Structure 1
Amino acid sequence: MECRVGHHSNRKRHGTHRNGSSLCGARRQRHRSPRPGFHPSDVHGSSGGDALRRRGFSLIEVMVVLALSAVLTLTIARAFVHATEMERAFAISRESEAQAREFEESIRTLIESASLSRSAATLESFFMAGAVSLGGDGITSDSLTFTAVKRPMDAVIGSGLDFETINERFGPPGGIEEVSLSLTPVGNPGERSGLFLRTQMPADSEPSQGGYERLLLEGVQSLRFEFFDGASWVGAWDTTTQTTPRLPAAVKMYYTTSDQPEVERVITVRVPASDATIDNPVTIGGGA
């Protein structure tokens, strides 16, 4: 907008200038006056309120996100700890089961090797469990002692050494071996407890002593045996009281361990050298 004044005297020019300035100022003021119902402070007030509100919503959202993140992190941590504990438990269980399978396989191998001499009853060849002569009651048995055929190891056979050298270095390479399974060791076990295996070769007339003894499985708390005579299961066996010594057709071994005392495990082993059958059972307490 242009504001003009005439060329008059200095006084008039100055007055006109003042008047003209006032007029131009009024025009500019009218031109720049805000719209009705609007005040400049409204701009700043409205913008500040919106900014504060937007800032408030952002803080709430951040707090919610942080809370959810904390819950999620805690959940993941607990899941990880639980998974780690489960994996550790599974590993211990697998190790325990593997040890149990190895132990039971050892028992099967031992009992399957049971053998008797074809001659009359003799203490150099026997199968005794719960025998009165060994302190048992003749009814139940918590130990088992028998003779077994031990075959020479392939490594010994293939060593190229003569019999005298093999016997001197490794002991008798094969023959009749005395085997005993019991919770009561013959020697001093120290603080160890469990199922002990005692072996002696060649077998002698002392089925309750001699030989080498080792802890076969630690933590065995109870042990009992049953024997199948061809007709039923019985709790004891003693070939020294039989007219014709005969082996049971099968053996059951029941045992519990300290880590699972409420669980009684059972191993059933067939005795290959036995001739006892349903048609030809063994007469308990006497001969064939």
Structure 2
Amino acid sequence: MKQRGYTLIELMTVFAMSVLVLFGIAIVYSSTLDYVKTTPERLDEYQAKVRVKTLLERYVTAAFLNNDDTDRLTYFLYNTESLQTSDQNTLVFTSLGKTVDGAFLRSEETDFETLNDQFGPQGGVAEVSLSLNPVGSEAQGDGLFIRIQNPADGDPTQGGTEQLLYPGVIDAQYEFWDGIEWTTTWDSITGQRRIPAAVRMRFTLDGDDRPVVFVFRLPGSDITVANPLTIGTDGQQP
């Protein structure tokens, strides 16, 4: 019995299917290599973002102002001359978000002076500063620095301990909800003694044109649509 041979069309069809299979395998292989290469880096970026957001949320959402108009130890300042610094792109506020050291709670020491020497002041109102320009000369690296002073001393320009919070940040912008719109300045010293209803933070990282945006609501604010921050005729908070 004679066997029928393969036609040219059949051979071309098999060849085309083989090419498609090989092409698909190449794509899968390339995607796998890309996944293995980029996933750890992306995971590190995501974890860094979560860590920064968690820390900022702890302090920003606990922003605090004393109701006493004569008090100068609590404040919320941004892009204002009250900062008394040439770097107006620094956000400084007082907060109740600083947690008590676990070692302090576990300590069996009862003497106040000894505890203070070992752990420093615990709880209370702390001053928090966010800036791209560190106050201290010993700060290492570039990016967003956080400075915390506990207790706050009424000087929003210095003091406390400082560390690099978000490496790689080359630009930081802050906006505040005043009950009507987002504003780019806030001064609780010369203006109304109130804190914004919400804060929107936008950070631009080196080599990435997609900004990282955080929005935090401030439970301690009394600002609402029905009770907004009023602005004077000169454009400043009265």
User: What TM-score, normalized by structure 1, do the two folds share?
Assistant: 0.67
- The answer to whether residue 96 in structure 2 is matched with residue 175 in structure 1 is no
Residue type of the alignment partner of 1:271:
L
Name whichever structure is richer in helix by fraction: 1
How do residues 247-262 of structure 1 correspond to structure 2 at under 5 angstroms? Answer: 247-260=195-208, 262=209
Equivalent in the alignment of 2:183: 234
* 2:163 match: secondary structure: strand
The Cα of 1:205 is off from its aligned counterpart by 2.2
> 1:234-255: CA deviations, max 9, x gaps?
101010012x511111100111
Cα distance in 2 between the residues matched to 1:283 and 1:216: 34
Indicate the SS of the match to 1:88. Answer: helix
Residues 50-129 of structure 1 aligned to structure 2 (within 5 Å): 80=29, 82-129=31-78
Report the TM-score when normalising by structure 2. Answer: 0.80
5+ unaligned residues in a row in structure 2: which ranges? 1-17
Corresponding position: 1:215 with 2:164: yes
d(CA) in 2 for partners of 1:122 and 1:227? 22
1:122 deviation in Å? 3.5
Partner of 1:245: 193
Which residue type is aligned with residue 248 of structure 1?
P
What does the per-residue CA deviation read over 1:205-259, in whole Å, with 9 as the maximum and x for residues that have no partner? Answer: 21101111100011001001000111211101010012x5111111001111114
Alpha-carbon distance in 1 for matches of 2:189, 2:69 = 9
Q: 1:83 to 1:188 in 2, by over 3 A?
A: same
**Could you give the per-residue CA deviations for residues 78-100 of structure 1, whole angstroms, max 9, x where no partner exists?**
86465223222122112211211
Q: Is the 8 A contact 1:124 1:203 kept in 2?
A: yes
After superposition, give the CA deviation of every residue in 1:121-146 in whole Å (9 maximum; x if it has no partner): 53311000111132579xxx622101
Which AA in structure 1 matches 2:58?
T
* Corresponding residue of 1:273: 220
Match of 1:263 among 206, 210, 222: 210
Q: 1:188 to 1:194 in 2, by over 3 A?
A: same
**Structure 1 residues 121, 228: closer, same or farther in 2, change over 3 A?**
farther
State the shift of 1:76 in Å.
Answer: 6.6
Aligned-residue offset at 1:161: 2.3
User: Given the superposition, is the C-alpha separation of residues 121 and 181 from structure 1 closer, same or farther in structure 2, using an over 3 Å criterion?
Assistant: farther
Kindly provide the amino acid, as one letter, of the partner of residue 41 in structure 2: I
C-alpha distance in structure 2 between counterparts of 1:97 and 1:204, whole Å:
35
**Greater length-normalized contact order (CA 8 Å, ≥ 6 residues apart):** 2
**8 Å Cα contact 1:121-1:245 kept in structure 2:** no
Aligned residue identity for 1:282: L
Partner Cα distance (1:267, 1:114) in 2: 16
Equivalent-residue separation in structure 1 for 2:203 and 2:27 (angstroms): 38
Looking at structure 1, the residues matched to 166 and 217 of structure 2 have their Cα atoms a distance apart, in angstroms, of 22
Structure 1, gaps ≥5 residues long: 1-67
> 1:220–1:255: 8 Å Cα contact kept in structure 2?
yes
